[in-house]
Structure 1
């Protein structure tokens, strides 16, 4: 779908695998491939450009409780998808996140190697609540936004996983105003993008201009949001001159123009569509194969 006087476009794609068609969830995109999963514990890599896809089993939990002491009150599932350039391998990450104590979570991590065609468990980690359901792939690493609850409020940071060495790290988010906030992450043109959603009807969009350099966080725009918004903004794409922003707001897509402050909701879905929740991801067309040779 094209936008009038815009450099951005939106396309709709049908899922070629019937087993994923209704319950598919997008786990990320990389090098022109989109990763999806379903309720039937199946993962698929899809190239929308060529129509080729690869289906393989999802990871099941094979451990009691949290795996490292302490009882598990509940388990939350988080995913990530990216490319390990050092081994020329695509990897899917699945995190089993167990509530441990006082808002701390114990995370068990499984990694699927497309080259090895198998899952393996790697060293886990402890964290606050991983609010990002899907990791953002930038600079060879996956990124999840995490919050730590304290009596004085919430503290936010980014948890990272380097896919080559399978090592965890942390990145600080930029400072933000007082009041209730909720961070979401995105990637645009190879840059890590953070969106600070305030309880009031506004959101600040930031970009990390030099990866790993926390002082390079730069605020691009403050967006005034519709009064009737019911969800947090997820940044999908930022135009090169930073005058257009493609955003996901719950089940809607929207185009924000920073030149005049206009906010346009995009009618991408027909009324007859069946979906539990609208999903979107950005990708660049390529001939990349979802199979390892």
Structure 2
């Protein structure tokens, strides 16, 4: 039999449970809002089922933007508590995507929990290329020229209309994705090149606006050949490596396209590297809140250069020189830097940490179902921002 004390405890427990909804309803709305703005996207997605009011609140564009602003306040936090890592693998003809918190990868004091992410499925071709991320949305190229905007955290995607480009004429393509802060718009840039005998004959640039859901052609590019690697978005500008000739020599520069003004120039020159080290390949990235250049010397090393003051070509400095390792095959793509200075790399089909202090590679706990299937990796900030943001307005 229950004692009087046990009955009293049970009665109190039932009373407390009955009071919980009342306590929630009487809680100041301003406090509830501040709490919700600080929650991760995965929690907010579940909490939309709490009530119609919460669902309406967290689905509004105003809340989405406020939540994103809160997340971006800690964008450069060395702990990377609001950053995630997206992995794309190719297992046979099946595309798989997974994600995990970047903090758990960079700091081995916590286990890495991998979550399955449903990949966008639109094209009939089993291929998926990341064009970059901005505010939680990825630009994705499926097949050859099918462009999709995709938020993996909330599983929203939008297939863009065809740009109208004559794909038979233009054989060389590259894309970029960024946010136009001035006009509160998301834009995809398509660069198409017609070349013969390695000489650039014509390069056109098309820009897609999410707000207007349409493409338009802007001023053509009259410089050299543009790298096929996707443009890197930083400081409101998309960046590509451009190759041209100076006399009999091959020269490199950085093509920059301002997403808001839709103007382009090639003034961001690269650091003075030495070609005598052998054949190399140049790509652009962002580390520690700075624009970077990755100079890959074939089977030797990858030099990481940082532009410490954006727009100042005299501010380039070498951050690291990552040696080639016989234990790993493929290109080195730096993704992030830990608080202690370790560099997270996609090294071929593996994810590694490189400690430049003792010149050692450390294997991470991040594992795909098939260890040899990793195709791409990218860091991003999870958000509630939907590619359908401008379809229905609040």
- Both proteins in one fold, TM over 0.5: yes
Aligned position for 1:133: 229
- Alignment of 1:56 with 2:155, yes or no, is no
Deviations 1:194-231 (A, max 9, x none): 11112351121111111111111121111112136654
Separation (CA, whole Å) in 2 of partners of 1:261 and 1:49: 36
Separation (CA, whole Å) in 2 of partners of 1:4 and 1:25: 24
Aligned position for 2:252: 156
Deviations 1:129-179 (A, max 9, x none): 222420000011100112235675432211111111111112111111232
Deviations 1:259-281 (A, max 9, x none): 221123555332298x6x70122
* Residues 200 and 262 of structure 1: CA distance in aligned 2, closer, same or farther (over 3 Å): same
SS of alignment partner, residue 375 of structure 2: coil
* Alignment map for 1:136-147 (pairs within 5 Å): 136-147=232-243
Greater Cα offset, 222-231 or 12-21: 12-21
- Alignment of 1:291 with 2:394, yes or no, is no
Match of 1:202 among 277, 292, 301: 301
Structure number having the greater helix percentage: 2
* Residues 16 and 83 of structure 1: CA distance in aligned 2, closer, same or farther (over 3 Å): same
1:126 deviation in Å? Answer: 2.2
Separation (CA, whole Å) in 1 of partners of 2:199 and 2:350: 31
Aligned position for 2:21: none
1:101 deviation in Å? Answer: 6.4
- Alignment of 1:24 with 2:122, yes or no, is no
SS of alignment partner, residue 139 of structure 2: strand
Separation (CA, whole Å) in 2 of partners of 1:5 and 1:139: 28
Count matched residues. 282
Greater Cα offset, 10-19 or 27-36: 10-19
1:291 deviation in Å? Answer: 1.9
- Alignment of 1:255 with 2:358, yes or no, is no
Aligned position for 1:215: 314
Larger Rg: 2
Q: Cα RMSD over matched residues?
A: 2.9
- Alignment of 1:184 with 2:280, yes or no, is no
Separation (CA, whole Å) in 1 of partners of 2:187 and 2:116: 23
Deviations 1:45-93 (A, max 9, x none): 222222222222342414884xxxxxxxx61110000001110000001
Separation (CA, whole Å) in 1 of partners of 2:164 and 2:328: 36
Separation (CA, whole Å) in 2 of partners of 1:172 and 1:26: 26
SS of alignment partner, residue 210 of structure 1: coil
SS of alignment partner, residue 314 of structure 2: helix
* Alignment map for 1:84-99 (pairs within 5 Å): 84-99=180-195
Aligned position for 1:233: 332
1:42 deviation in Å? Answer: 3.1
Q: Unaligned 5+ residue runs, structure 2?
A: 1-99
Aligned position for 1:71: none
Match of 1:77 among 164, 173, 181: 173
Q: Is the contact between residue 82 and residue 92 of structure 1 (CA under 8 Å) also seen in structure 2? A: yes
Q: Is the contact between residue 254 and residue 264 of structure 1 (CA under 8 Å) also seen in structure 2? A: yes
Q: TM-score, normalised by structure 2?
A: 0.64
Separation (CA, whole Å) in 2 of partners of 1:7 and 1:114: 41
Deviations 1:227-265 (A, max 9, x none): 366543222223355x11122234333321222211235
Separation (CA, whole Å) in 1 of partners of 2:226 and 2:296: 16
- Alignment of 1:270 with 2:369, yes or no, is yes
* Residues 117 and 205 of structure 1: CA distance in aligned 2, closer, same or farther (over 3 Å): same
Q: Is the contact between residue 106 and residue 126 of structure 1 (CA under 8 Å) also seen in structure 2? A: yes
* Residues 88 and 167 of structure 1: CA distance in aligned 2, closer, same or farther (over 3 Å): same
Q: Unaligned 5+ residue runs, structure 1?
A: 66-73
Structure number having the greater strand percentage: 1
